[in-house]
Structure 1
């Protein structure tokens, strides 16, 4: 019996030693690709173009635009939870959690950069939704990108800077930041660069130029779900550009095709499509149709500040046109209460 027990102990010890020496146990960092399984390994290097990770003794490269998040070995719980809140667009909760992180105990440079990014990201998103200072957020984002030129968050931050510049009316700056996305390794990010710059042209009433760029996106043979989503958004924006050029009926036909193929899980894209429908009806002089379209966004897609605030602005004008000042006042009041920084 004693011999068997000793043998069992020795076998257990050998097994434990093998496990501790195995690549699985040595894998400490976790990388989550968009739409893929978590990858366990050790981060070898990070640059603005992505991450090289050693997995089971072999290096694997992950492009920046394909990464959802990274969990580093030794992350404090507060950083892990704050990161999750941020990714889930719960920015108030994220900031509250991140404020409890003791930054002095972050002993890896990638951890420090990740922490700084999510603090900056949440502040920027709050400002973009009208609940923060746009100039302060832009300054913080610029500071991050200057101090972390090798962060895999580089292109995401460049996009944020473009978004903030648009809200501030600095369209030349926005074009510069969005233009930098063309250097990203991800095909989808390159498409996004063209799409976002087309939106800048729309905001500047350069409708024919915007339409030309958007048509290029529509004509692409995309190979991914994200590429297809960007193509749908480009079609919605192309409808708006078409409507602004006085072709409301043609724009409406384009939008109705998109509505017939709506992805029920992508509510943000749906909101943009219904706003495009509203713009099409406005171009046709159909106030009632425009009201119904923008009301759809107001009532169904209130979790997306960008299209939701745009719908409220349009509704305030449309209700006034049809002689319902009380409804117009309600729309303005909701706009002011939910998006104080965007109501001007």
Structure 2
């Protein structure tokens, strides 16, 4: 059967039009904290409180900023995901280098990917700086530049949380308080609780132990309406346990820590790492040296990606191994601390600086 050439050309043009229509929609993939199923579609609007997504199938949906775990942007190169894997594994320097390469190679039109990548660099640098005081000025400047320049980003509140933690680590309590107040003024219950706990940590850093303890208790008494808020209360329990350790109330601290360890997700290495460090402190306060060593060893083996807690654990191991007749292992811990964290306050403390 012979097909008329004009009809054939019309069919080809129609097919091309269909392809263009199909390909016109960007496919962004959003991973939410509250749901296992991811959402695919095009992010059509962004604010610091939410994003809107035009789904491939179904109606447009709005996702609160505090529920966004990750957005795999349509315009993002595959190397971005690999760089985030490096960050997740605690390889912060490698992650920063990889992310900078991604940033340098982005086209001008990839605005959303650029903003996210800038945040990821600032976040990885912040994590590194918490264990390396020499990097703190750069980390503060980078995170502040992000918050100042991206007040409408859905990453804004998360960035403000990191900025407050950095200020707290530099003993700039006024700026830390201001950052956490911004976080507390967010519309999200979980971030409000997080900010209140963080403000309690500011009090604790200034040796206001009883005031901090009362503030942590207030967070724990607040109604937790969702899983994210319950997670924030686990963080408050860690803060309360730290207060109890300072007050030599080790039994109560250990009960709180056991609750955190059993209820926190195994994958939450940040929460688990701090819990084991605090557990080691409480056990040591009870005179249980061997049990304390085991707690610190868990951090060394399982949670070394949390570099600030890892440094603290190595410091304690270097101090405690000789007490159980293991001076060689004490030297190994010392060497690891000095090699991996030369600018950590724990390294300086071990050296008597």
- What TM-score do you get using the length of structure 2 for normalisation? 0.81
Quote the residue 1:29 is aligned against.
28
Quote the residue 2:62 is aligned against.
61
Structure 1 gaps of 5+ residues are: none
1:9 is displaced (CA, Å) by 10
Q: Distance in 2 between matches of 1:143 and 1:62?
A: 25
1:340 is displaced (CA, Å) by 1.9
2:100 paired with 1:99? yes
Q: Distance in 1 between matches of 2:325 and 2:91?
A: 38
Quote the residue 1:38 is aligned against.
38
Does structure 1 conserve the Cα–Cα contact (< 8 Å) formed by 2:231 and 2:264? no
Structure 2 CA distance for partners of 1:46 and 1:265, relative to 1, 3 Å: closer
User: Match of 1:133, SS?
Assistant: helix
1:248 is displaced (CA, Å) by 2.1
2:83 paired with 1:82? yes
Residues 57-100 of structure 1 deviation map (CA, whole Å, 9 limit, x = unaligned) = 85422222111222333334444543554456543333333333
- The 5 A counterparts of 1:247-326 are 247-259=249-261, 263-319=265-321
Match of 2:148 among 131, 146, 149: 146
- The 5 A counterparts of 1:151-166 are 151-166=153-168
Task: Kindly tell me the number of residue pairs found equivalent between the two proteins.
Answer: 343
1:341 is displaced (CA, Å) by 2.2
Quote the residue 1:207 is aligned against.
209
1:288 is displaced (CA, Å) by 4.3
Q: Distance in 2 between matches of 1:261 and 1:26?
A: 41
Structure 2 CA distance for partners of 1:81 and 1:107, relative to 1, 3 Å: farther
- Name which of structure 1's ranges 59-68 and 225-234 shifts more when overlaid on structure 2: 225-234
Does structure 2 conserve the Cα–Cα contact (< 8 Å) formed by 1:117 and 1:144? yes
Q: Distance in 1 between matches of 2:154 and 2:262?
A: 37
- Name which of structure 1's ranges 62-71 and 99-108 shifts more when overlaid on structure 2: 99-108
- The 5 A counterparts of 1:218-233 are 218-233=220-235
Residues 6-33 of structure 1 deviation map (CA, whole Å, 9 limit, x = unaligned) = 99998897677556546x8624333332
User: Match of 1:105, SS?
Assistant: coil
- Name which of structure 1's ranges 332-341 and 88-97 shifts more when overlaid on structure 2: 88-97
Q: Distance in 2 between matches of 1:325 and 1:40?
A: 56
Structure 2 CA distance for partners of 1:222 and 1:41, relative to 1, 3 Å: same
Structure 2 CA distance for partners of 1:125 and 1:273, relative to 1, 3 Å: closer
Does structure 2 conserve the Cα–Cα contact (< 8 Å) formed by 1:298 and 1:308? yes
User: Match of 1:43, SS?
Assistant: strand
1:242 is displaced (CA, Å) by 1.5
Q: Distance in 2 between matches of 1:43 and 1:264?
A: 31
Quote the residue 2:183 is aligned against.
181
1:238 is displaced (CA, Å) by 1.5
Structure 2 CA distance for partners of 1:51 and 1:260, relative to 1, 3 Å: closer
- Name which of structure 1's ranges 84-93 and 137-146 shifts more when overlaid on structure 2: 84-93
1:134 is displaced (CA, Å) by 0.8
Match of 2:242 among 235, 240, 243: 240
Q: Distance in 2 between matches of 1:86 and 1:293?
A: 24
Q: Distance in 1 between matches of 2:338 and 2:318?
A: 12
2:52 paired with 1:52? yes
Match of 2:119 among 117, 120, 125: 117
Does structure 2 conserve the Cα–Cα contact (< 8 Å) formed by 1:65 and 1:185? no
Structure 2 CA distance for partners of 1:69 and 1:90, relative to 1, 3 Å: farther
Q: Distance in 2 between matches of 1:68 and 1:216?
A: 27
Match of 1:333 among 309, 315, 335: 335
The Cα RMSD (Å) is 3.5
1:272 is displaced (CA, Å) by 2.1
- Name which of structure 1's ranges 319-328 and 290-299 shifts more when overlaid on structure 2: 319-328
User: Match of 2:101, SS?
Assistant: coil
Q: Distance in 2 between matches of 1:36 and 1:72?
A: 18
Q: Distance in 2 between matches of 1:304 and 1:110?
A: 28
- Name which of structure 1's ranges 236-245 and 214-223 shifts more when overlaid on structure 2: 214-223
